[in-house]
Amino acid sequence: MNWFKPSRQVLGALVIGLGLVAQPLIVATAPAQQQKSNILFILADNIGYGDLGVYGGGELRGAPTPRIDRLAAEGLRLTQFLVEPSCTPSRAALVTGRYSIRSGLSLVALEGTPYSLPAKEITMAEMLRDAGYATAIFGKWHLGSEPYSQPQSKGFDEFYGIPPGDTWDVFGMIPQGRQTKSLDIPLDKGPHIVEAKRGEPLKAVKPYTAEVRREIDWELVERGVDFMKRQKAAGKPFFLYLPISRTHFPNLPSKRFEGVSRIGQFGDSLMEGDAIVGRMLDALDELGLTRDTIVVFASDNGPDGPGARAFGGDMPDMGAPGPYRGALGDVSEGSMRTAAWISSRPSRASRAARCRTSDGRRRSDRPAVRQERHRSARAPLDLRRPRSGCGALEAIPRLFRRRGAGPQRRGRSHPHGRRRRQRGVDERLPQGVQR
């Protein structure tokens, strides 16, 4: 049986996006030819560390997530996946591999503000497209509305979703404006679902209303499945970025998921998100692409905070950070430590990056950050990206360095001649000084 090995450019792009180090998901390969693997990246919105069953939530919280839990058990679950504390900064770090402040996007982008992804920034979609991939994004971009920062200008062949400078709750501006008598915008002048092909301007598809919000994720799924079918027929590897709406407030589940959980509309929305992930996995199986596809699931940041509580009526419309304190927008760990896992079936994670829990599941307790791009990851993965400022972990390049990955300095020079070794407390005193 011939298994595949993801190309170095593919894995390099994943390193930029996820902060994996040196040896992510390398699988056995036939020596004759190296086949490029597909990438399906599902990004959830505002799911807390304690929401999913595999992290201690799920059924215990009243909203089981069996499909996500199953795939997390088959792949590599990250327990220290660290992000930035809100939508725009986290997504900027994800697509560029750099601190969001270096892109001018450390604040949440709003329609009508100058905050947009700079034209000079290079995204992982651009890298993958240059490597021969078909690329698509269906869902939420939220990196600015300027034409040069829109997805179709930043490496994606196809885009469908909400306006690139907006987030999921923007549909409420018209009813809220009328209720408060502060705005009176006609429906055709309000936010719209938009689409675009590479290099083309955005086209309005339909008004973005509360009814559309309820069903939008299933539209994204349909387009995602169609995209995968077309690329398989064309024999082309693909990168499908699917940033869905679950579980961003206000959580409006589709009619078939209303009341399925025990914790109100947030739980209903969480279970619907689990079904969405399951549908994408089923599509991979139906297309015979499961063994040739790396699947990544992550949340952009921690759960919604107390401000979202009222949207749920009698039940809070917000997730849980698990054992950590904090929520969306905070500087506490509950805002920045979130759920993520990677699966490539059959997959072999680096021994140095994984351990097995008592129930046999694979997990990595190594810290991993979205914008990680330090030297020890770039070198073995042949990641060719113009250098324009350090990434997240270049300040501590030894943190994840593997033994045998290259020469390591055993100590650093002290201004007064002292040298501390990497291990122990052996010191060298300046010449002429006696102990």
Which residues are known to be catalytic?
87, 142
Instruction: For residue 247, say if its preceding peptide bond is cis, omega within 30 degrees of 0.
Output: yes
Asked if 63 and 315 touch (Cβ cutoff 8 Å), the reply is: no
**Sequence-ordered list of residues with C-beta below 8 angstroms from that of 64, at least 6 positions apart, any chain:** 53, 58, 271, 274
Give the closest residue to 286 by CA, choosing from 278, 276, 294.
278
Distance CA 265, CA 311 (A): 9
Distance CA 367, CA 121 (A): 25
- In Å, what is the CA distance from 370 to each residue of 83, 152, 331, 348? 6, 22, 16, 21
Burial pattern 238-264, b for ≥16 Cβ within 10 A else e, equals bbbbbbbbbbbbbbbbbeebeebbebb
Please give the full DSSP string across 309-321, using - where no structure is assigned: GGGGTTS-S----
How do 293-299 and 337-344 pair as beta strands?
Answer: antiparallel
**Sequence-ordered list of residues with C-beta below 8 angstroms from that of 170, at least 6 positions apart, any chain:** 111, 162, 163, 191, 208
Distance CA 339, CA 320 (A): 11
User: What phi and psi values does residue 216 have, to the nearest 5 degrees?
Assistant: -60, -40
Q: Which residue has the tokens 């401000």?
A: 307
